[in-house]
């Protein structure tokens, strides 16, 4: 793409307000709705033109409602931009694997504690060693637990309920997972033998890439009432787990993309990009994918639940004798890459929609029936991780989000440098040393993994979070700063 083409794409955007840009339907013939991109002026100038083009391409899909959207962490992805959100009518719309991604239900959970940073900081290196030993990490990592075929079926269908019934976590944990850690309608018969083979040995593994377990502390409280409801206070130690459905989810996406690609032609759906392969939501192909996707999503919730359980054991071994009950309660767990059937109001009419969130977080408002009772007054916790050396944030969903973004917010900082570029430009050992000089300790299988996830390869998490806060789709509650990180 030439610089002139890049300028033309950026010049096509119409500024609606400080943080909202519209891509009109005449940008590309065939767009059924406008695009909406939620970015500050400085962030929009840095956005890849190809990501803007992807927002336009999603607007071609049948049954799309209101807008094709991109959150402030948007960057180029497969089909949809990462940070892309789109909702499709249950009856006239489509389901697209490109709107979910390969790492189905990659997500993040936050666990609070009664520990204080001043007590924990001197022990961070030893604590990381113990966590690194307890949590299998890296490409192809194998779990400490082996599940049978019947148990794998239970994971696919029951999600976190399976984990709790098998001794991992509690009922209270289940209540603090999005959708109680389970998408209904999962059907293991729609999961291939290859996907099952990949998933069976990986329950309770962190994986690689941008996945991590981070020990943090609460640096700042913005909303005292919401923070109190979430059990957060300044100086307190927390830890965050970010991972997904591992090989099972990747294989499920790969398998069903083949069938969905054929279905796009079968149903004569005109696509501007073959990566947007989709099928009518009611079609057998779309429903088969959705049932398999639900299996992967439920698997991912179990994966994070098991990792949380083992992490709690490490914390208890380190600190229980000194501090007694540690108060290691799950604040919340949110999914990033998923499609869900939800009820939303469009032009005054209630509709059932398949909401695709690709690198985006659900942000439901106070009073919503899908929230646990103790969060009904605050709205849903929205957890936005930083990038190893930068701040993470806890926010809460708002009523405005339901109107602006189908109850969605950003999911992280968003990459500005590819992994291959990062490994060429950065030295992992130097990044590790620099972070250590700032009091942030990092462990990984290889230095290259630290290089490709260095803070410099991401946008500013603070600037990204400020956009959703100023838009009013999620309100800042607390800022968390890292003390130690284990990477895949």
DSSP track, 254-307: HHHHHHHHHHHHHTT---SSGGG--EETTSHHHHHHHHHHHHHHHHHHHHHHHH
Helix (H) or strand (E) holding 218: strand 212-221
**Which residues have CB under 8 Å from 252's CB, separation 6+?**
104, 191, 192, 195, 245, 292, 293, 295, 296
Q: Which of 211, 411, 421, 469 is catalytic?
A: 411
**Is 368 annotated as catalytic?**
no
CA distance 275 to 76: 12
Bridge partners (DSSP) of residue 37 are 21, 70
Residue 198 three-state SS: helix
CA distance 93 to 245: 26
Rg (CA), the chain: 21
**76 close to 48: Cβ distance less than 8 angstroms:** yes
Among 104, 105, 108, 48, CA closest to 81: 48
Task: Count other Cβ atoms within 10 Å, centred on residue 172.
Answer: 12
Counts of helices then strands in the chain (DSSP H, E): 17, 19
Please classify residue 344 by burial: count the beta carbons closer than 10 Å to its beta carbon, then call 0-12 exposed, 13-18 middle and 19+ buried. middle
**476 close to 432: Cβ distance less than 8 angstroms:** no
For residue 358, what are the CA distances in angstroms to 240, 250, 327, 380, 477? 20, 14, 33, 19, 24
Task: Count other Cβ atoms within 10 Å, centred on residue 146.
Answer: 10
Instruction: Give Dmax (Cα) for the chain.
Output: 67
Please, where are the H alpha helices in 39-192? 41-46, 49-58, 117-120, 124-134, 149-158, 160-165, 171-175
Please classify residue 99 by burial: count the beta carbons closer than 10 Å to its beta carbon, then call 0-12 exposed, 13-18 middle and 19+ buried. buried
For 146, the token pair is 């082996």
CA distance 160 to 105: 13
Active-site residue list: 411
């Amino acid at each position: 793409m030439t610089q002139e083409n890049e300028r033309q794409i950026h010049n096509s955007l119409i500024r609606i307000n400080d943080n909202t840009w519209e891509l009109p339907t005449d940008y590309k013939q065939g767009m059924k709705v406008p695009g909406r991109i939620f970015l500050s002026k400085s962030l929009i100038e840095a956005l890849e033109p190809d990501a803007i083009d992807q927002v336009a391409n999603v607007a071609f899909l049948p049954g799309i409602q209101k807008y094709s959207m991109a959150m402030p962490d948007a960057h180029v992805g497969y089909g949809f931009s990462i940070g892309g959100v789109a909702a499709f009518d249950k009856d006239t719309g489509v389901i697209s694997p490109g709107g979910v991604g390969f790492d189905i239900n990659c997500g993040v959970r936050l666990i609070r504690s009664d520990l204080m940073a001043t007590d924990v900081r001197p022990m961070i290196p030893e604590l990381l060693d113990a966590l690194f030993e307890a949590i299998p990490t890296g490409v192809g990592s194998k779990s400490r637990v082996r599940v049978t075929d019947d148990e794998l079926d239970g994971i696919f269908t029951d999600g976190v309920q399976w984990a709790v019934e098998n001794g991992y976590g509690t009922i209270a944990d289940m209540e603090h997972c999005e959708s109680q850690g389970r998408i209904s309608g999962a059907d293991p018969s729609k999961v291939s033998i290859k996907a099952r083979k990949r998933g069976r040995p990986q329950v309770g593994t962190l994986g690689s890439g941008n996945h991590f377990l981070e020990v943090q502390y609460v640096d700042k409280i913005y909303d005292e009432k919401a923070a109190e409801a979430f059990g957060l206070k300044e100086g307190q130690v927390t830890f965050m787990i970010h991972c997904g459905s591992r090989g099972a989810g990747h294989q499920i996406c790969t398998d069903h993309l083949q069938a969905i690609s054929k279905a796009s032609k079968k149903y004569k759906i005109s696509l501007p990009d073959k990566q947007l392969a989709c099928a009518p939501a009611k079609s057998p192909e779309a429903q088969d994918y959705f049932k398999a996707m639900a299996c992967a999503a439920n698997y991912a919730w179990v994966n994070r639940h098991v990792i949380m359980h083992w992490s709690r054991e490490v914390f208890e071994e380190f600190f229980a004798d000194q501090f007694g009950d540690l108060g290691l309660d799950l604040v919340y767990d949110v999914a990033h890459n998923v499609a869900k059937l939800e009820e939303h109001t469009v032009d005054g009419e209630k509709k059932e929609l398949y909401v695709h969130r690709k690198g985006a977080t659900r942000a439901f408002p106070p009073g919503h029936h899908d929230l646990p009772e103790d969060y009904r007054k605050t709205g849903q916790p929205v957890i936005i991780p930083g990038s190893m050396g930068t701040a993470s944030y806890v926010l809460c969903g708002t009523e405005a989000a339901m109107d602006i973004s189908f109850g969605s917010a950003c999911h992280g900082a968003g990459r500005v440098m590819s992994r291959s570029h990062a490994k060429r430009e950065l030295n992992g050992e130097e990044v590790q040393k620099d972070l250590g000089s700032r009091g942030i300790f990092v462990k990984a299988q290889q230095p290259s993994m630290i290089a490709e996830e260095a803070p410099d390869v991401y946008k500013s998490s603070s600037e990204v979070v400020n956009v959703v806060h100023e838009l009013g789709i999620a309100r800042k509650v607390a800022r968390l700063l890292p003390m130690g990180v284990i990477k895949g």
